[in-house]
Amino acid sequence: MNRALHLRLFAAAVLAYSWSVQAGAINFDYSNDRPEALRECDALEYSGQRFDADDCYAALRVNGSDPRVRAEAAWSLGDLRAANTQFQEAIDQYPDDPRLRTRWGELFVTTHQD
């Protein structure tokens, strides 16, 4: 391969890595008003028990009755589309919840959407 092709492949690899790092960043939320069910999953994640944390978040995402909890669980699992959809549903149900709007905005900023 020639030098130009090597540089293009290297640039593509660096770009792909930077995107994966951004998408995989852990989203820490230490607020006192975070739902208890999410805090239980968070504790598993923060202590390095990632597989158990994923199972915990997955259960909340599927079985959670509150779309705010489902949105946060999807976000914690890295499913940003599902998180966005759940935030939209939550806004429909809780239009005056400032924390909900803040968290949805943080998702928006985190994913670098314009």
Q: CA nearest 41: which of 56, 60, 58, 61?
A: 56
Provide CB contacts within 8 A for 91, sequence distance 6+: 97, 100, 101, 104
CA distances from 98 to 8, 57, 101, 103 (A): 45, 23, 5, 9
Q: Is the pTM of this model over 0.85?
A: no
- Write down the domain spans for the chain: 27-110
CATH of domain 27-110: 1.25.40.10
Q: Tens-of-pLDDT digits for all 114 residues of the chain?
A: 577 655 565 555 555 444 444 445 556 677 788 899 999 999 999 999 999 999 999 999 999 889 999 999 999 999 999 999 999 999 999 999 999 999 999 999 988 765
